[in-house]
Amino acid sequence: MTIKKATKLARIVKFATAALIVALLFACVKTGTSQKSNGMWVTGDFHTHTNISDGEYRADQVAAKAVEYELDWYSATDHGGVFNRNNAGEVVGNRFRWETILGEGSERIAQNRSSILQFNGFEFNPPGHEHASLGFIGNDDAVRKNLALFEYLFDAADSSKLEDLTPEMRTIVDAEGITKNSDNNHRKSIEAAQWLVKNFPNTSYFLPNHPTRVLAGNGTGWLIQEIRELNDIAPDIFFGAEMLPGHQKSPFRGGLARFYYFDKTQNRLIQLSAGSANTLEEMVDNYIKTNSELATPRDIDNRADILRSLNDSIPKLRTYGGADYYAAKIGGVWDSLLSEGRHFWIFGNSDFHTNESGPGREPDFWPGEYSKIYTFVEEKSYQGILDGMRSGNTYSVLGDLINYLDYRITVGRNSATMGQTVSGAANTSTVVKISFKSPEKNHANTDGRSGINDKPVVHHIDLIAGEVTGKASDYSTDSVATTKVIATFTEEDWTVDANGVCHISFTLPKTNKNMYYRLRGTNLAPNTTGLTDSDGNPLVDTPFDSVRGTNVPARTFADLWFYSNPIFVNAR
């Protein structure tokens, strides 16, 4: 299917005569409610940190900022493992994360809940993988105990043994009757997912964070076949990933600053350190020199092969317009999952640690300051939010590019919105309808920056389509050729009503193929130097050959995107 911007056949259906609909839509924008009378849109962030682990601030300080930046909910996901701070943030002896979950972690959450909905969770170290956000909802005491138990049983960084357990924790572990698995590999992550399905089937989430920060295949990254396996086992728990990673303020945007090459001589991936190097070549030369000075030098690839491998791997380890490679590459990993018809959704968040600069510290945007998840919920409650996230009726926004989106596809008399499926496209016309609005101001100038247009304006929206062909026979398949941008809409293609809501209506041809359709939008025109290519696709945020981050907050706020989750359309 090829439909290009030049196709102005379906020039926008005018909404001027639909005064009542316009009024209702504007009411929805102002109040946060949807066109459905029994629901609303809420904003949130499921990945933040406090001084319980490696964050800079107390939980109440982070919660206050989340409220200031207009979030309805968030989760403080302090790392699993071992940390050395007490309730006051003072450095003390090592403390296991299950211990802080049982104690002050849960107490702080209870205190914050007077001002904001806060989930109880932690940043899980899934065995054999990079990080993930993990959380439960339900009875507070049961959640507290089971979250601590889960961290002890399954977190790869938890080194505690039975003799380390407090009396309360020993009682919890003994009651469960499970022996801790010491094999920190993918098999243990599967056991963790199975435990969640058994104990919290509708009240837990397990969502990979920054899935491309570590190159897949190094023993801890997220291989697509492992994502598929966990989604098979726990589709209502392992239902998406943070593909718009946090740390958007970092010199390497998204905090994606690692260098891996595959050494054919050693048959393994090796991570290189930039050290004092200023170029990729200098980094490799330092690595070769250091190896040659070892008492027993390792057999390694030659310089040309190492550089060639780095140039192959680095593009997969960077962000593009703030999105990681899995989401930014059209026809890549995310599209491969969607082409199977999988309900696997895209999310963004802050990964907030600190707003301070200093040795060993890179400042982050506060929760809600730059990244927001919008979720449609039937009720504003913990279960309502989790159900909304699971449904896929969500979209993620960077820099408050938009603060309202109504995206739906109608086939005949039936329609579907994000995360849903509508059928019958082979027999009747299929109409895509998009309504969106941008706020009057974002947070671009909150820390004294100037020269940034702090009223975000959408330049264009891409409609991305792909065929749905069923489960892959080869679970390692990580690309799909049928996914393409089929239409690009600019201000010439939308009408703007009296309340500032923009409307697009676009008719697709009949098709005998099952399809999915997703949106991405940006404030940038094609061929924006250093930011977009001639087709409007995002360019890499840090040049491949740079070993020093090039991102600054002003650049981040000049480069805004939003991503919707898909709508599935069946032919029959």
3-state SS track over 256-286: CCCEEEEECCCCEEEEECCCCCCCHHHHHHH
Does position 98 have pLDDT exceeding 60, yes or no?
yes
pLDDT for res 6: 37
Q: Distance (Å, rounded) from C-alpha 202 to C-alpha 391?
A: 12
What CA–CA distances, in Å, run from 320 to 14, 88, 253, 345, 531?
Answer: 35, 38, 9, 18, 8
What CA–CA distances, in Å, run from 352 to 49, 156, 159, 246, 248?
Answer: 6, 22, 25, 7, 10
Each residue's pLDDT tens digit, 246-259? 999 999 999 999 99
Does position 14 have pLDDT exceeding 60, yes or no?
no
Residues contacting residue 52 through CB under 8 Å, at least 6 positions apart:
59, 76, 78, 83, 85, 100, 104, 105, 108
Query: Where are the strands (E) in 441-560, listed by range?
Result: 460-467, 484-489, 495-496, 502-508, 515-522
Mean pLDDT of 46-62: 93
pLDDT for res 446: 55
Mean pLDDT of 452-476: 93
Does position 107 have pLDDT exceeding 70, yes or no?
yes
pLDDT tier, 4 (very low <50, low <70, confident <90, very high otherwise): very low
Bridge partners, 519 (sequence order): 463
List domains and CATH numbers for the chain. Answer: 19-256+318-570 (3.20.20.140), 259-310 (no CATH)
Q: Which residue is listed with tokens 């070549």?
A: 281
Give the range among 104-118, 183-197, 467-481 with minimum mean pLDDT.
104-118
Helix (H) or strand (E) holding 153: helix 140-154
Phi, psi of 459 (to 5 degrees): -85, -50
Instruction: Return the exposure string of 430-454: e unless at least 16 CB atoms fall within 10 Å of the residue's CB, then b.
Output: bbbbbbbbbbeebbbeeeeeeebeb
Rg (CA), the chain: 24
- Mean pLDDT of the residues in the chain: 90
pLDDT tier, 139 (very low <50, low <70, confident <90, very high otherwise): very high
Mean pLDDT of 311-315: 95
Show the tokens assigned to 492.
């010439």
Bridge partners, 467 (sequence order): 515
pLDDT for res 28: 40
Q: Distance (Å, rounded) from C-alpha 253 to C-alpha 549?
A: 8
Q: Distance (Å, rounded) from C-alpha 312 to C-alpha 356?
A: 34
pLDDT tier, 78 (very low <50, low <70, confident <90, very high otherwise): very high
Of the candidates 185, 213, 201, the residue with the CA atom closest to the CA atom of residue 238:
201
Each residue's pLDDT tens digit, 418-428? 999 999 999 99
Mean pLDDT of 191-217: 95
pLDDT for res 87: 56
Sign of CA dihedral 263, 266, 269, 271: negative
Helix (H) or strand (E) holding 226: helix 224-233
Each residue's pLDDT tens digit, 529-568? 999 999 999 999 999 999 999 998 889 999 999 999 999 9
pLDDT for res 103: 87
pLDDT for res 452: 60
Q: Which residue is listed with tokens 């690839």?
A: 301
Q: Distance (Å, rounded) from C-alpha 444 to C-alpha 552?
A: 12
Q: Distance (Å, rounded) from C-alpha 231 to C-alpha 393?
A: 18
- Determine whether 267 is exposed, middle or buried from the number of CB atoms within 10 Å of its CB (0-12, 13-18, 19+): exposed
